[in-house]
Amino acid sequence: AANIGSIIYFSPVIYVILCYFIFTKLSFFIVLIGYMGSGKTSVAIELSKQISKPFIDLDNLIEKSEKMTIKTIFDKYGEIYFRKKERFYLENIINSNNYSIISLGGGTPCYSDNMKLLQSRENVYTFFLKVSPKNVSKRLFVERKKRPLISHIDSFQSMEKFVSKHLFERMPYYSKSTHQIDTNNKSISEIAKNILALLT
């Protein structure tokens, strides 16, 4: 017998009805959590298109508001300064009435009790986008220069080693999310569909 998950997943009609339901009822934050390169921003953009709600990327907001790249903030003022700014802008978003989709930075849930802040709000749903160290290392090795925590890593092997350990350390924070989504071998739109199906 077909289970409800596969009916929702495969039926475009049910899918459109789901989107309509979410579009009309949505009065909460969808917060995307996960390691660097796990696809948070791309999934947020896709969700935003599908349910016509504005999205905010926390890193982008910090860069725009501070008129500096994340890399420059790290280089000039250090990580602790960045983490304080990160907390400040996260609180601003959560306390505003612009209900929306938010993609966090990879480290956001692990500092300043940010996860506690998110868990304390009834209208906040957190989604942890899970990705294997191998898959994410492939992506990150190519893009490492713009990411201050990994820009110094000079071989794929070292990247995988660093990512495996770092991801393991961060897991206790990430796994406090409302939902966990395995993103390995899934397209951005499949991940967005999985999220919408979990919201209804």
DSSP string, 6-38: HHHHH-HHHHHHHHHHHHHH--SEEEEE-STTS
Give the shortest CB-2-to-ligand S3P separation in angstroms: 36
Give the shortest CB-60-to-ligand S3P separation in angstroms: 9
CA distance 111 to 81: 12
Give the shortest CB-148-to-ligand S3P separation in angstroms: 5
Contact pattern for ligand S3P over residues 120 through 159, marking x by CB under 6 A:
---------------------------xxx----------
22, 70, 153, 167: which one binds ligand S3P (CB under 6 A):
70
If one counts every other C-beta atom within 10 angstroms of the C-beta of residue 35, the result is 22
CA distance 2 to 133: 33
Q: Which of 4, 12, 59 is nearest to 200 (CA)?
A: 4
8, 32, 106, 131: which one binds ligand S3P (CB under 6 A):
106
**Smaller CB separation from ligand S3P, 147 or 186:** 147
105 binding ligand S3P? (CB under 6 A): yes
Give the shortest CB-11-to-ligand S3P separation in angstroms: 33
Q: How many residues bind ligand S3P (CB under 6 A)?
A: 9
From residue 20, give the alpha-carbon distance in Å to each of 62, 105, 111, 114, 191. 32, 29, 36, 31, 18
Three-state DSSP state, 137 = helix
- Which residue ranges make up the site for ligand S3P (CB under 6 A)? 36, 59, 70, 105-107, 147-149
